[in-house]
Amino acid sequence: MLALHALMVSLQEATRQTSNYYLYNWLWWLFLIFAFFIFPLVFGDYYQLLRLSGTINRLLSDLGRVLNQSFTSVVNTIENIVRKNNIQNVTRKDIESKIKDLIEYVLIQPTELETQGIVNKLKHIITLYNKELEDAIRRLIPVDKHVIQNIVSSVEALRSLNLIYKIVMHYYRLGMKYRNFYILLQIYMVIPQIKEAVNAISGAINAFIKGQPIGDSAGPLTAFKFLREKCESVEPLSHSVEDTYIARCRYKGRIVYVIKALGPGSSTGRLDDAVTYLIEHCGVKPRAIITVDAALKLEGEKTGTITEGIGVAIGGIGVEKFNIETLATKYRIPIYAVLIKMSMPEALTLMTKDIAEATNKAVERVCKIIEQVAKEGEEVLFIGVGNTIGVAQ
Amino acid sequence: MISVTELYALFMALSLSLMMILIFVTYMFMRKTMFVSIETVTGKAITVLKCPYCSYTIRRVFREGDHVGAVAQEKCPIHDANLIVSEIYTETPSSE
Ligand SMILES: [Zn+2]
């Protein structure tokens, strides 16, 4: 009230004064109009550009730092292996240039113009790609297969990290080149996802080079625990399916075939080939196929929650899923899924305690399903889906 | 009695401090999106060893070469059997 009174009084007085008041008044209003109307209108986009470029610049330098760290740790690991195994004629320079080459290695997807038989083409290309990567690493360091598999996986993770970096850099450069903040805005909008992905991938590299199980190993770990703790008379089958472990065992009178990737190297196995081998070559007549896999949770869901369902629970590109679904449909075999929920960073980094404990519950669920769907003497297929790194059999 | 110049000074000071508050609030708001850096939190890995015949378990720090299913050097005090690695995990949850 006092201020208002002072204003009124002084305004009245001001009207009596001359020149100076009007000058000040106009200058002040001019300033206000510029500050709040003209300036934002004219320089708004430019200001946004400045702000976004700062943020994305920071993101890029962070990404570069993470990429460099991961690259160095992979090279260090290989160097250690070289030193430990007394491999001659391999210098740090050789390793660095080889890894740099492999990071840029491309996998060209088959054309989708004609979709007939595309799954088999995709399978062929991916198998070839993995084999090429493994061969390239084996030429560099001729050591045990599981060590090579771990290195291959970390190189693949490096490759996706590098790809993210290059894409962000592309949009940043393009936006700055044409002073267009809408292009920068597109990167700005996905910064949270980029950060999560980068965190997860760099964590994955850490686990891969040490050979530690990751969250995605929950499926193979469930299979391992089922074999060790619940089954009697476990006998591994000899077969020609690469990177895959098949065992036959007895659980409460039921015959269970357990399929998982062959550990403890980083591998997801050829699960579809294993199922084909059992059903079409060995004449197994399963009452059900049960898959256990890690599944992505939504924010707000609890890690380690277990859900059951129908269908084949296999992630990835979908080749194995397609093949197993085709087989199951052909022979009318019921397919059951047990899912262990986790977030994307949890799935790719060192397994957390919640997930390790959840596998115990998953084993119980699998046992319950087997008891329900098969009578004594009947056969069941149980597939532990996922990357088996750090989990043997 | 306040003079006109004094009044203008007051008015300017008021609006300037308002602008400062606005800038500060914007800064506080933007800090969340601008300055959260990428950091990888890797917890310490723990290896759980279990006797194949009973429920005897011990936990120790992860050593190179450990993997689930591997036979460890440690032995069960009751059965004198080598323990087997049954789990490897971290207790620090990944960045939430
Ligand atoms: Zn014991």
Domain assignment of residue B58, yes or no: yes
ipTM: 0.79
E strands, B1-96, are 45-50, 57-61, 71-75, 82-90
Residue-wise pLDDT tens digits, A256-273? 999 999 988 999 989 999
**Domain of B53, in residue numbers:** 43-91
Handedness of CA A135, A140, A141, A146 (dihedral sign): negative
For residues B82 and B65, state if they share a domain: yes
For residues B22 and B57, state if they share a domain: no
Regarding beta strands A286-296 and A379-384, do their DSSP bridges make them parallel or antiparallel, or are they unpaired? parallel
**Domain A215-384 class in CATH:** alpha beta
What is the DSSP annotation of A20-61?
A: HHHHHHHHHHHHHHIIIIIHHHHHHHHHHHHHHHHHHHHHHH
For residues B48 and B86, state if they share a domain: yes
Domain assignment of residue B83, yes or no: yes
Q: Which of B87, B90, B91, B92 to mutate to test the interface with A (most CBs of A within 10 A)?
A: B87
Q: Quote the DSSP letter at residue B76.
A: -
Question: Which residues of chain B have a Cβ shorter than 8 Å from any chain A Cβ?
Answer: 1-5, 7-8, 11-12, 15, 30, 33-43, 45, 48, 52, 62, 64-70, 84, 86-95
> Which pLDDT value is given to residue B27?
81
Residue-wise pLDDT tens digits, A286-302? 999 999 999 999 989 99
**pTM listed for this prediction:** 0.84
| Number of Cβ atoms within 10 Å of the Cβ of A382 | 29
Q: What whole-number distance in Å separates Cα of residue B93 and Cα of residue A356?
A: 12
Q: What whole-number distance in Å separates Cα of residue A306 and Cα of residue A301?
A: 11
Domain assignment of residue B96, yes or no: no
What tokens were used for A120? 């088999």
Residue-wise pLDDT tens digits, A17-52? 556 777 777 888 888 888 888 888 888 778 888 888
For residues B18 and B53, state if they share a domain: no
Residue-wise pLDDT tens digits, A100-148? 999 998 889 899 898 888 999 999 999 999 999 999 999 989 988 889 9
Domain assignment of residue B52, yes or no: yes
**Nearest CA distance, B20 vs chain A (angstrom):** 13
Where would I find the H helices in A141-248? Answer: 145-177, 181-189, 191-210, 218-225
Domain assignment of residue B71, yes or no: yes
Annotated domain spans of chain A: 53-210, 215-384
* CA distances for A136 relative to A83, A132, B11, angstroms: 19, 6, 74
For residues B50 and B70, state if they share a domain: yes
For residues B24 and B58, state if they share a domain: no
